[in-house]
Amino acid sequence: MSTKIATDGSARADAPERVVVDRQEEPYRWACPRGHVDWDKTNSHIWCRGCRRQHENGADVDPEHYEIVDRKNDETVPWSAVELVERY
C-alpha cells in the first residue's frame, strides 16, 4: 500500500531547485508577478517598488510577493529558491 505525501517545499527532499539571479547581467528577465523589475529579496518575501507605488496611488496592489517570474521561460520561481548575486 502506498501513501501519497503532500509536500510544501519546506523539507530538503522536496525543496525547489535554487535559481541564481544576476540582475546586472539580465536586468529585465526577472519580474514580480505584476511585471515590475524593481524588486528586492527580503527575509521572507519579494518586495516590489513598482507595486508599492501603485498601492500608494490607490490601487489594490500588495507590494509583497512570494515568487518572481522568469520572463525568459515564463516560469514562476518561489522566494525560497531565489539566490541573488550580490556585486559591490
Q: Is the pLDDT of residue 80 over 90?
A: no
In a domain, 70, yes or no: yes
Is residue 48 in some structural domain? Answer: yes
Using the predicted structure, report yes or no on whether residue 1 has a pLDDT greater than 70.
Answer: no
Number of domains making up the chain: 1
Q: What are the pLDDT digits (tens) for 61-77?
A: 999 999 999 999 999 99
Q: Is residue 73 part of a domain?
A: yes
Residue at 36 is within a domain: yes
What is the b/e burial string over 3-16, where b = at least 16 CB atoms within 10 angstroms of the residue's CB? eeeeeeeeeeeeee
In a domain, 61, yes or no: yes
Q: Which domain holds residue 42?
A: 29-84
Q: Fill in the amino acid letter for 41.
A: K
Provide the 3-class DSSP secondary structure of residue 32. coil
What does the pLDDT look like over 9-58, one tens digit per residue? 556 666 678 889 888 888 899 999 999 999 998 888 999 999 999 999 99
56 found inside a domain: yes
The helix/strand/coil state of 1 is coil
* pLDDT number for residue 79: 87
